[in-house]
Chains A and B, each alone.
Chain A
Amino acid sequence: MLLIDDLHASIGETEILSGLSLEVAAGEVHAIMGPNGSGKSTLAHVLAGRDPYQVTAGRVLYDGADLLAMNPEERAAAGVFLGFQHPVELPGVANRYFLRTALNALHRARGLDEVGPVEFLAIAEEKRRLVQMDRTLMDRSVNDGFSGGEKKRNEILQMLLFEPRLAILDETDSGLDIDALRVVADGVNSLRSPDTATILITHHQRLLEHLVPDRVHVLAGGRIVRSGGPELATELEVHGYAGFDARPSQGLPTAIGSGR
């Protein structure tokens, strides 16, 4: 479904991704872990099409199409969803109106019928219950004055509503209590199907106690330096990332030298 091949990306003069390669097949959940500053969030933003990042080399194929040639709204229409580490506040824009506007934009782009206000009410209410988000947050401005946990629930609500094929969750688990963590895990689990894939970007393995990934990757110095099964997350929990910063990992002796 997703093929990232030797991706280099910079912001200004600083290279942040330095030859990152990754393949995610449909039906899989991948976890990308790594120390702060390793390029995790940059990867998420580059995949979603954020402006200031420049891709200087490499390619990203999504269902065989050149993902990097699409603008952000085209990527969303094609089924890519980014769960933000820091969801943006939109003062004056009612959450319910935002959700329906976005859903209908996706429907139009996908050639589906638009959803009217009444029908939407029912759909949104079902998803809201799933993520256990307070009802009043639907009528407030998007993320405006929401607590950290409420913002993340709103992200998962969007993920469930927009039914992406590839969900990329950027540190969605950070700062969450155990209940909210379960909501995120349940959301991802409910999205699991042979046709969809998820990339979980996370600093901690806490989320992975509720959500068993198919593959775990360690991102350091702007590239994947080690990949393995779920057991890799446990190993990281015990030993930390120190080893990846301090010495080249097995089979990838150049990884650290090219890092930031």
Chain B
Amino acid sequence: MTLAARTVSAHPNEGFQLPLAGRPSDPDWLTVARCGAAAWVTANGFPSAKHEDWRYTRIDPALAIPFATDTDTGRRTATGTSSPDVSLRDLLGPGLGGIRLVVVDGHFAPELSDPDGLPRGIRIGSLQNALATTPQPLQPLWSWHPSGYPHALRALNDAQATGGALVDLPAEAVVETPIEIVLVTTPASAPHWSHPRVVVLAGARSRATVVETHLGAPGSPSVTNALTQVVVDDDAQVNHYVIQDEGLDSFHFSSLEARLGRSSRFSSRLLAVGGRIGRHEVHTVLQGENAQVELDGLFLTGSDQHHDSAILVDHGAPGCRSHQIYKGVIDGDGHGVFNGHIVVRPGAVGTDAHQTNKNLLLSDRAEVDTRPRLEIFADDVACTHGAAVGQLDPDALFYLRSRGVPHHEARALLVSGFVQEVLDCFAGGPIRQYAERLVTAHLEPNMSAGRRGAGGELDSDRARNSSVSRSQGGRAR
């Protein structure tokens, strides 16, 4: 990768200067890393439509949002934390009911968090505290891309992120309860950028589930530039979820980076319903033999919404397996994008890599661009990829209507059928119920008005359906 190729546009704002971020307690290596990342942004600029991976997703509107320093917002949050405002608590809701870490505007909020109930030896909580007290294990996370950043937003998180959440599992640690991390933008605040960071370190043979929820209130065009880094050591297992339910005026950019050790297992499942412009990147490196990754995603993109999924699975070791199903439902004049890229490096023999992207367009104005790509530099591999774009089946609609199901309800039923394949990948219980509720709420305003309250019953029937289809081995895992 050459730097010149990435130098595609300068910051559109006149006199742009990247504000300095950091804390007095930052170790030297971190200050150096921040300066390096800031310099990279200044030198390379932000991606534009000329940048191949950003052809369909504009970030200019987000760059118009004031670029307050992260420490400013952090200070504001820190000083106003004695009584978090009511609207913030409303926005947070009850959550999944277990261990919960809350990050507000990029900063860990201890007064809103409930980290109790973990086995001994497991460290979870504030990333800024960890950077101040025991920074050493975190240093490699700031040099994840030694040969240059993929784009400015990623570099920006290195430069600007001063806080967030940390989940640090020592070897052998097993956490059965999902660890919920809620990243929220203050509803009442003026539009601003935040750069939250989530770090999950899973020691050898450890096991945990981490659910990341991104929330925002409507009416605030704030920008979230989030980064999650997951290091899965040998034989460890991490199940990760991203639920993106940002306000409909907001901009949401998130990157997930995961490194998988030998015989480790990692899954990440995305449900994206919010944001005006949203982009979720996944960059998974399978660097130990026999590692397995499952990536699935569902984006529901309505009018005035744009969602981009950019997935890179990098097979760097023999005998690894990756499996992906991404589905998009695009309504109104919404725009969906899927960029799926699988690379099989030389020597990664016995790779088993599969990727599927299916999209459902619900209106004549809805658009989707899908680009699955495979690059194979090794022999003896099994790789497949495929993409499909379709509309609701008129025969299916007529079948339902001939049974008395009104048109709008028939549509909603078929859409819910389309998304089941992805939701079936979500673990049962609170996570699945939460996802189902969001999907129903998102589809209902347009399609099944007058049928509110059906969600609860829906859950039980679908849950039965999913357990049966799993036992039949519809998807081997």
Residues of chain B lying within 8 A (CB to CB) of residue A87: 399
Judge whether B461 and A102 touch: CB under 8 Å: no
In chain B, what residue has the closest Cβ to A89? B396
B208 at the interface (CB under 8 A from A): no
Q: Mark B391-423, 1 if CB is under 8 A from A, else 0.
A: 001111011111111110100011011111100
Quick one: given A92-B417, A117-B457, are A136 and B468 in contact (CB under 8 Å)? yes
Residues of chain B lying within 8 A (CB to CB) of residue A101: 405, 409, 413
Judge whether A93 and B416 touch: CB under 8 Å: yes
A84 at the interface (CB under 8 A from B): yes
Judge whether A140 and B469 touch: CB under 8 Å: yes
Judge whether A139 and B468 touch: CB under 8 Å: yes
In chain A, what residue has the closest Cβ to B454? A101
Q: What is the CA–CA distance of A105 and B407 in the complex, to the nearest angstrom?
A: 11
Judge whether B399 and A93 touch: CB under 8 Å: no
A-B contact pairs, 22 of them (CB 8 A): A73-B405, A73-B406, A73-B407, A81-B402, A88-B395, A89-B396, A90-B414, A91-B418, A92-B417, A92-B421, A93-B413, A94-B464, A97-B458, A98-B400, A102-B405, A105-B404, A106-B404, A117-B457, A136-B468, A139-B464, A140-B469, A141-B417
Judge whether B404 and A88 touch: CB under 8 Å: no
Judge whether B399 and A90 touch: CB under 8 Å: yes
Quick one: given A92-B418, A93-B414, are A51 and B409 in contact (CB under 8 Å)? no
Most buried by B among A87, A98, A109: A98
Quick one: given A88-B393, A92-B421, are A73 and B469 in contact (CB under 8 Å)? no
Judge whether B464 and A72 touch: CB under 8 Å: no
Residues of chain A lying within 8 A (CB to CB) of residue B457: 117
Q: What is the CA–CA distance of A49 and B461 in the complex, to the nearest angstrom?
A: 30
Q: What is the CA–CA distance of A158 and B402 in the complex, to the nearest angstrom?
A: 11
In chain A, what residue has the closest Cβ to B472? A140
In chain B, what residue has the closest Cβ to A45? B398
A-B contact count (CB 8 A): 101
A82 at the interface (CB under 8 A from B): yes
B136 at the interface (CB under 8 A from A): no
B465 at the interface (CB under 8 A from A): yes
Judge whether A102 and B403 touch: CB under 8 Å: yes
Interface residues on chain A, number (Cβ under 8 Å): 37
Q: What is the CA–CA distance of A162 and B418 in the complex, to the nearest angstrom?
A: 26
A32 at the interface (CB under 8 A from B): no
A48 at the interface (CB under 8 A from B): yes
Judge whether A96 and B404 touch: CB under 8 Å: no
Residues of chain B lying within 8 A (CB to CB) of residue A1: none
A156 at the interface (CB under 8 A from B): no
Contact partner, B460, options A51, A91, A117, Cβ 8 Å: A117
Residues of chain A lying within 8 A (CB to CB) of residue B464: 94, 96, 139
Judge whether B416 and A92 touch: CB under 8 Å: yes
Judge whether A73 and B460 touch: CB under 8 Å: no
Q: Please report which residues of chain B, range 312-326, place their CB below 8 angstroms from some CB of chain A when the two chains form the complex.
A: none
Q: Mark A140-154, 1 if CB is under 8 A from B, else 0.
A: 110000000000000
Judge whether B405 and A105 touch: CB under 8 Å: yes
In chain A, what residue has the closest Cβ to B409? A105
In chain B, what residue has the closest Cβ to A140? B468
A77 at the interface (CB under 8 A from B): yes
B373 at the interface (CB under 8 A from A): no
Q: What is the CA–CA distance of A230 and B401 in the complex, to the nearest angstrom?
A: 33
Judge whether A90 and B396 touch: CB under 8 Å: yes
5 A-B pairs closest in CB distance: A92-B417, A92-B420, A76-B404, A94-B465, A72-B401
Residues of chain B lying within 8 A (CB to CB) of residue A141: 417, 465, 469
What's the least CB distance linking B41 to chain A, in Å? 43
Q: Mark B109-142, 1 if CB is under 8 A from A, else 0.
A: 0000000000000000000000000000000000
